[in-house]
Chains A and B, each alone.
Chain A
Amino acid sequence: MYLDGENRRSLTPQLAFRVALIGGVALLAFGVIFFRLWYLQVLSGDKYEAKANDNRVREIKVQAPRGEVVDRDGRVLVDNRTGLAVKVTPGKLPDDPGGRREVYKRLAGVLGSSATRIDRSVSDQLKALPYSAATVKQDVKPNVVAYLLERQNDFPGVTVERVFLRQYPQKKIGAHLFGTVGEITKEQLKDRRYRGVGLGDRVGQSGIEYQYDRFLRGKNGASRVQVDALGSLKGELAVRRPVQGRQLRLSVDLGVQKVGQQALGGAKGAFAVMNVRNGEMVALGSTPSFDPNLFSKIIRPRDFKRLSSEELGKPLFNRATQGGYPTGSTYKLITSVAGLEGGLITPDTVQYDGGSITVGGVRFQNAGGVVNGPVALRKALTVSSDVYYYLVGREANGSGDGLLLQRWARRLGIGRRTGIDLPSESPGFVPSPKWRNELFKKKLTDRPWSVGDNINLSVGAVALEANPLQMAVAYSTVANGGRVLRPRLGQRIEDSGGRALQQLETPSPRRVKIKPEHRQAIMEGLRGAASAPGGTSTPVFKGFPVPVAGKTGTAEKGAGRADQSWYVALAPYPNPKYVVAVTFEAGGFGAETAAPAARRIMGELFGVKGDAKKQVQGGTAPD
C-alpha cells in the first residue's frame, strides 16, 4: 500500500469545480452532437437517403438495334449484326499509371493497336462519360475474345461486350442510297432532331440512314444496376428493354439497282430509274461505289481518305444527286418544250439543217458535221439535229425577255433540287445572262452573255450542270403530261414483321402546262430516236421487246476532258411507266456507252429474259 487510508484526499472545492467543468464540457459536446444528429437524421434524412441511392444506382445504356431497310419486295438492304467490342472499365483498371500502361500495352499487342492510342481514346471517352466502360475496339474476332477471356488476370478491367453493328449485305450496291451511320456529333446532340439520343450513340450520317433516322433509330434501353464504391456490379434492379428501330421499306428494286451498277461497270457515272407516274425511285446509283460496312465501325482515316480521293473517282460522291454535268442532246427535250410552249415553233415547223449555222461570226455545227436537210421537231429529235435547236436557242434569246429556255429549264426541274428524300442534293446550274454578265463585271470571264451562250444551252452544252435524277424528273414530266414529280425512295414504315405502320406521304407534284399535242410530238420524236431508221439509238435497242423512247446525249466538256455521255429513256411507249437516265463522265458518244447501259437496266426492269447477257452493240451515231 503506497498511501494508507488516512491520507485519502477528500474532495476539495477546487477539484469539485474542475470536475464540474469537465462534466460541463462533456455535456456541451453531447448537446452539440445530439443537435447535429437530429438535424442530419431526422430533419434531412430524406435528402441523404436520396444521395445514398444516387451513389449506388447507376443506369447502364443498353443499345437499341436500328431498324432494317428492305426493298420493295422485302429483300434486306440494310440490317444489323452483333459484334464483339472490347471495352475497358475504369474502376477495375490498376490504380497506378504504370500498371494501367502495362494493361494497355498488352491489349495493344492483342488488338494490333498502340498503347498510346488506347490510352488517349479511353481517357477521351471517360472525360465525356465518366464511370462507364470505354470502347477500345469495336468488332473483334472471336479468337481475340477467347484469348482475352482466358487471360483475365493479365487484363484487369478489360471486358468484352456484345454490340449491334450496322450491316450492309449488298456491300457496294446502293451504298450511296443507304448511306452511312456514325457516332452522333456534338452539333447534332444540340439539334432537336436528335432528342433522346445520347453521347456515343450511332445515328445516320448520310443517305437514307440520315433521312429516316427518326424511324430507324430505336429507343435505347437501360438497366438500373446497383454498384459498389468501386463501380463494380452488385445486382440488377430494373431493366427497360431496348426497342428496335422501325423497318423502312424503300421503293427500290434491288435487282434493278444491282444491274444498274453493273451496267456502269466501275466507270465514273450515275443512273436513275423512276416511275414516271408517281415518282417512286426504282434505282438510283453512282459509281465508283464503296462498301458502307466500313462505316459501321469507326472508319479508319486511311479508308476515308481513299474513299474521298480524286484518283479513285471519289467513291463517296453521289453522282446521281450531287453531280453536275452538261447534258448534251438529252437537253433537247427541254428546249423542245420551251420552243413549243413559248410559241417559237410548232410540232410541224420545218427548219433547214445545213449542218451548221453561223451566228455573230461563230460557226455552230452538228456533231460530226452531218447535214440533215429540212427537219421538223420529230425528226430533229430522232436524228438529233443540233442546228434545229440552235435556231430555237437563237430565237429564244431574241424574243421577250430572252429567258424562255432558262424559265422552262427551271419549270422542268433543272437548276433546282428535285426534293428527293436524300440529304445533300445539289441543285445544278442553268446558265443565264445575269450570271454571265455578273462574272464579266467582276472580270472573271472574257465576254458578257451573247446569243451564242443561249445557242449552247439549247443543246445542253458546257456551262449547264444537271444530274441524272433531274433529267429523269424532266423527262417524266413530259411523259406524264405535266406533273413535276418529287422522287421518293421511302415507301412506308413497318414493324419488324413487315406490317405497315405508316405510309410515307408523297408530296403532291408541281404542275406545268404542256399541250397534249406537244407532248405527243416530243414522245414520237423520242420514240423515233430509239426505233426509226436514222434514230440515234435505234441500233442499241434493236430486238428489245419493250417499245422504248429515248434520247442520246454527248457533251464536250472542253479542256481536253473526255465527253460526257448520256441516255434518257422512257418505256413502254406510248404510255411510259419508267424513266431511265444514265450518264458516264467519260463515255464518248451517248449511243456508245450510256444507251447500252440503259438497255441493260430496261431489260431487268421489264424482266426481259436473257437480255442482260446479250452483247449489246453500242451505237455509233453522233448526236
Chain B
Amino acid sequence: MEDVLSNIYLGLTVALQPQNLLYALVGVTLGTLVGVLPGLGPLATIALLLPATYHVEPTAAIILLAGIYYGAMYGGSTTSILLNIAGESATVVTCLDGYQMARKGRAGAALAIAAIGSFVAGTLAVVGLMLLAPPLARVALSFGYPEYVALMITGLVLVMYMTSGSMLKAFMMICVGLLLSMVGQDIISGEFRFDFGVLELTDGISLGAMIMGLFGVSEVIANLTSTNPPQVVTTKFRDLLPTREEWRQSSWPMARGSLLGFFLGLLPGGGAIVASFAAYAMERQISKTPERFGQGAIEGVAAPEAANNSAAGASFIPLLSLGIPTHATMAVIMGALMIHGVEPGPLLIRDHGDLFWGVIVSMYIGNVVLLILNLPLVGLWVQVLRIPYRLLFPLILLFCVVGAYSIDFRLFDVGVMLAAGVAGYLLKRFEYEPAVLVLAFVIGPILERSLRQSLLISDGSFTIFFTRPISATALLICAALLISSLIPAINQRRRQAAAAAAESE
C-alpha cells in the first residue's frame, strides 16, 4: 500500500508539472473534438498528431495521445445523443436510446448520465491499471529471449484474432509488416538490407510517416469517395440534471457496464467497441422491461457509455505491462512510445516509472477535465459539427504534409506518407487490415533480435521455445486462439458441403 501511495505521489509530481497539465488538457480537448466530429476517429488523429509530439518529453507525448483516446470516448456520445450519428465507432450503440431520449426532451439527462458514467468507468479503469499493471510487469521481468519471442508472437496472434476479416490476409499483413521493418541496417550484423541504393532507406522506413499515411491520409482519401457526407440534424436539450428515477435506473447499469468493459478491455477484440455492444446487450437481457430499449431507456445510455470508457482505460494494462497492444489504437500508441525510445513491456514500469505513474495520474486529471468539458460546454461542441468537410479535409492533408516533413525535415518522408496513404486506402478496399501490418512493423525488430539470440543460445534448436514454461504456455495459447478462430470457417464449409450434397441428391 505504501508503495502505491509513494508511486501516486511520484505520478502527481510528474502530472502536475505545467507542461504535462497543458498536454493533458490539449489531449482531452482534441479527443472530445475528434469524438464529436464524425468521420475522423481517435486512431487517425493520434496518427496525425504523432509528429507534433516528437519534440516534447516522452511523458508529455503519451499524456497527450492517451488523452485523445479516452477523450474521444466522451465526445462520441454527444454526437450520438444529439444528432443520431456516431461520432466514434464505440458510441454507435448510444444512438439507439440516447437519440430517442433527446427526441423526448431528455437530451440533457442522457448527456449527463453518459458523462458521469464515463467518468465513473474511466476512474475505475485507472484504478485497475494502477493495481494490475505493476504485478503483471514484475512477473514479466524474469523473461529471457525465448519468452520475448513467445510474447511478441502472442501479441501478433491477439491482434490477428481481433480482425474481423480473413485470417489468411491477416497472416499476409504480418509478413509484409515484418519485411518492411527489416529495411535499413541490421541490428546484429550492421549490414544494410533492402535499401536498393536509396540513401534515405538506410535508416529504415519512418514509422511516423507510415502510420500517418496508413490511418490518416487513407481515411481522408476514403471519405472523398463517399456519396453521403454526414448530415447535421440538431435537436434541443433542456436541463442537464437527470431525475431521481433516472439516477436509480442508471446506477446499476453504469456499475455493470464499467466492470464488463474493464474485463473486455483487457482482451483483444476491438476493446471499447465490443464492450459497448456487449454492455447494451447484457442490460437488455437482464431488464424486466426490455421493450423500453430502443425507445429511450436511460440504461441503454448508461451501460455502453460506462463500458466503452472502462475498456479504453483497461486496454492500457496489457500494453504498458506486457507490451501487447490489444487493438489498432494501442498499436499506434506503442509505436509512439518506441519513437520516443521507450520500449513498452515489463521494463517500462521499472525503467520509466515517472512516465508510467505520470500518465496514470494525468488520466485521473483528464477524466475530471472531461466531465467539465462535456457537461457545461456541450453547446460549444455542437457548433463544431457545422464545419463542412470540404474545408476540413484540405487542411487535414496539409497538416499531414507538414507533420511528415517535420519528422526528419526530409521530403522523402512525405513521399513515404503519401505511398502509405495510397496503400492504406487500397488495403481497406481489398479487405486487408493495416493495423496488423503496423503492429508487425513495430515489434518486428524486437522479434527478429530475440529470435536470432534464442537460436544462438539453443545452438539452432527451435525446441527452446517449447521447453521453457512461460514461452510454451504463451505459444499454446496462440495455438488455441488460432484453432478457435478457424472452427467457424470449418463448420461453415461443412454446412455448405452438406447443403451441396443434399441439393445434388
- Real complex partners, A and B? no
